[in-house]
Structure 1
Amino acid sequence: MTTRPRTTELRTEALSYGTRLYDADLTARPGETVGLVGPNGSGKTTLLRCVYGTLTPTSGRVLLDGDDLAALGPKARARRIATVPQDGSTEFELTVHELVALGRSPHKRFWEGDTAADRARAEDALARVGIAELADRPYPTLSGGERQRALVARALVQDPALLVLDEPTNHLDIRYQLEVLRLVRDLGTINLLALHDLNLAAAYCDRLYVLERGRVVAEGPPAEVLTPGLLAAVYGVEAEVIPHPRTGTPTVLYVPGPPVERDTSAM
């Protein structure tokens, strides 16, 4: 079995990408689930892509346990970072089990096939995300929510130190939104994810970074970040924020009505 490198933290330093992201500083520690929130076009996906390497930052660095990820080759990076993209491609001409088993590829030489242990890992991951019965189905025939869960399962068998997820609850019904986010939290990895749903972000993230127009404008625990003033300033909406009656996490209640004028002094 591959031993996961000891990871002390993920850190981005003054990370920029063209006009989409400016000087983003971010930190995530072992076992911590960190959420990126903000309006459409605020830079969340750009930041994630710079972290997992599909975009090369214009400036700044991404450090994992002090190692500059720009200096690592694709396979070395894949041994440490697993990604779940926003929309699962249907171009994979594989069964669901075969797709999930690909998560072991970074830990093998190119000529090595799947072992019994690899197959067992894939079966366990499929069961954990609730689609074990779809193992022999062609991946392109799955629904959007089923594809999303298959990609989460592939990330699980990759055994990453850092798990990066872009809108992992896309296409999922409420039950699986909650189950996937709970599963991610329980992995013990560093988790960095972008979410649109602020109530899910408040319930499952230890800390939030709020992005607007490519800049980080707020950071901290959800109860400190999700304030009526910030929601008005960043999203242009009127809202109340109250503790959830059972969990105590902040719950955003939106007030129907026209958009409110943004006041950046509230941030």
Structure 2
Amino acid sequence: MTELRTEGLSYGIGGRHLVDDVDLTATHGETVGLVGPNGSGKTTLLRCVYGTLPPTHGRVLLDGDDLHAMGAKARARRIATVPQDGQAGFELTVREVVAMGRSPHKRFWEADTGTDAELVRSALTRVGVADLAERGFASLSGGERQRALMARALVQQPSLVVLDEPTNHLDIRYQLEILSLVRELGTTNLLALHDLNLAAYYCDRIYVLAAGRIVASGTPKEVLTADLLHAVYGVSAEVSIHPATGAPTVVYLPSTHARPPVEHNSTTM
């Protein structure tokens, strides 16, 4: 049973808090979404969770273990990350990049096994890039790189998957396929999303960030309201329940008068 928990998590630089006193949980098998405007702290929070940024204050706990007290390799055995923009500088094939997901489970320079090769083959097929296996990673489009990095996360066999805008660069078919795959993994998942309708459909719970703080949390139905969208995003919207999916659906309304976001201090639990 895998549970992620942050306790009073903060990260500051230059006297400014980019993430400020965040308490968050993601329980076993849950898909938990982070939403909020640009600059709200989503990516910084995820980087604190998966270990590339050390928190200024607070802790990140996975099954009660402090992740920042672990070595990088021990952390990588338990957490897989899919970054927002996969670096295109790898002078490796797609197959080799995906196979890197097995490295946390190996000794230095230990050769790949037949089991490793099968895990890589299966992951490439599952995310729809098997035909690109021998292509250079740097030659891929942004969407192809994103799917290859998802395959790398799969072969890592983690208990927690952290994804920063996993649908970036993807057309709608692959957006839906990748998010469906995330939910089918059986892992605990924490992901940042810009698209509120995707978050409403694929996330069990949502945390809303503004200026580095959590301003609302709960199920999509509890969180995604017209009042909150105006308060946090400064937009007018209608929110209804879709008759087929049962999920909230957000329709943005054009306005001739731009309204700035207002301070939103309450938290929905």
Work out which of the residue numbers 63, 79, 103 in structure 1 matches 2:61: 63
Report the counterpart of residue 236 of structure 1 in structure 2.
Answer: 234
- TM superposition score normalised by structure 1: 0.96
Matched, 1:157 2:155: yes
* Alpha-carbon distance between aligned partners in 2 of 1:97 and 1:8, rounded to the nearest angstrom: 29
* Alpha-carbon distance between aligned partners in 2 of 1:121 and 1:99, rounded to the nearest angstrom: 13
Q: CA 1:214/1:265 → structure 2, altered by over 3 Å: closer, same or farther?
A: closer
SS of alignment partner, residue 138 of structure 2: helix
State the Cα distance separating 1:111 from its structure 2 match: 2.5
* Alpha-carbon distance between aligned partners in 1 of 2:69 and 2:265, rounded to the nearest angstrom: 40
Report the counterpart of residue 6 of structure 2 in structure 1.
Answer: 12
Gaps of 5+ in 1: 1-6
Contact 1:79 1:107 in 2 (8 A): yes
* Alpha-carbon distance between aligned partners in 2 of 1:266 and 1:103, rounded to the nearest angstrom: 40
Give CA deviations for 1:137-171 in whole Å, capped at 9, x if unaligned.
00000000000000000000000010000000000
SS of alignment partner, residue 216 of structure 2: strand
Give the 5 Å matches for 1:56-135: 56-135=54-133
- Per mean C-alpha deviation after superposition, the further-off stretch among 7-16 and 210-219 is 7-16
Contact 2:232 2:264 in 1 (8 A): no
* Amino acid paired to 1:259: A
SS of alignment partner, residue 239 of structure 1: strand
Matched, 1:227 2:221: no
* Amino acid paired to 2:5: R
Give the 5 Å matches for 1:197-216: 197-216=195-214
Q: Could you list the structure 1 runs, at least 4 aligned residues long, displaced by more than 4 angstroms after superposition.
A: none
- TM superposition score normalised by structure 2: 0.95
Matched, 1:148 2:146: yes
* Alpha-carbon distance between aligned partners in 1 of 2:3 and 2:253, rounded to the nearest angstrom: 38
* Alpha-carbon distance between aligned partners in 1 of 2:263 and 2:46, rounded to the nearest angstrom: 25
Contact 2:41 2:209 in 1 (8 A): yes
State the Cα distance separating 1:248 from its structure 2 match: 1.0
Report the counterpart of residue 50 of structure 2 in structure 1.
Answer: 52
> How large is the Cα RMSD of the aligned pairs?
1.0
Contact 2:2 2:160 in 1 (8 A): no
Give CA deviations for 1:25-44 in whole Å, capped at 9, x if unaligned.
00001110000000000000
Contact 2:2 2:188 in 1 (8 A): no
Gaps of 5+ in 2: none
State the Cα distance separating 1:266 from its structure 2 match: 8.3
SS of alignment partner, residue 20 of structure 1: strand
* Alpha-carbon distance between aligned partners in 1 of 2:88 and 2:264, rounded to the nearest angstrom: 45
SS of alignment partner, residue 101 of structure 1: helix
* Amino acid paired to 2:71: G
Task: State how many pairs are aligned.
Answer: 261
Report the counterpart of residue 262 of structure 1 in structure 2.
Answer: 261
* Alpha-carbon distance between aligned partners in 1 of 2:131 and 2:72, rounded to the nearest angstrom: 32
